[in-house]
Amino acid sequence: MFGPAGKFRRAMEGVRVKTDCRFRAFEHVRLKREFDRVFQEGRAFELREICVRALPNGLGHARLGLCVGKRHGNAVRRNRIKRLLREAYRLNRHALAVPCDMVIVPRTTWRNLTLAAIEPVFREALSRIGKVFAPR
pLDDT in tens, 104-127: 999 888 777 788 888 899 899 998
Is residue 93 pLDDT above 50, yes or no? yes
Q: Quote the pTM value.
A: 0.78
Is residue 65 pLDDT above 70, yes or no? yes
Q: What are phi and psi of 104, to 5 degrees?
A: -105, 130
Report domain extents, the chain.
Answer: 25-133
* Percentage of the chain exceeding pLDDT 90: 32
pLDDT score recorded for residue 94:
83
How many CB atoms are located within 10 Å of the residue 133 CB? Answer: 16
Instruction: Kindly report the CATH number that applies to the domain delimited by 25-133.
Output: 3.30.230.10
Q: What are phi and psi of 86, to 5 degrees?
A: -65, -40
At 19-61, the pLDDT tens digits run 467 777 777 888 999 999 999 999 999 988 889 999 998 888 8
Is residue 6 pLDDT above 70, yes or no? no
Among 88, 102, 89, 95, CA closest to 52: 102
CA gap 56, 42 in Å, rounded: 8
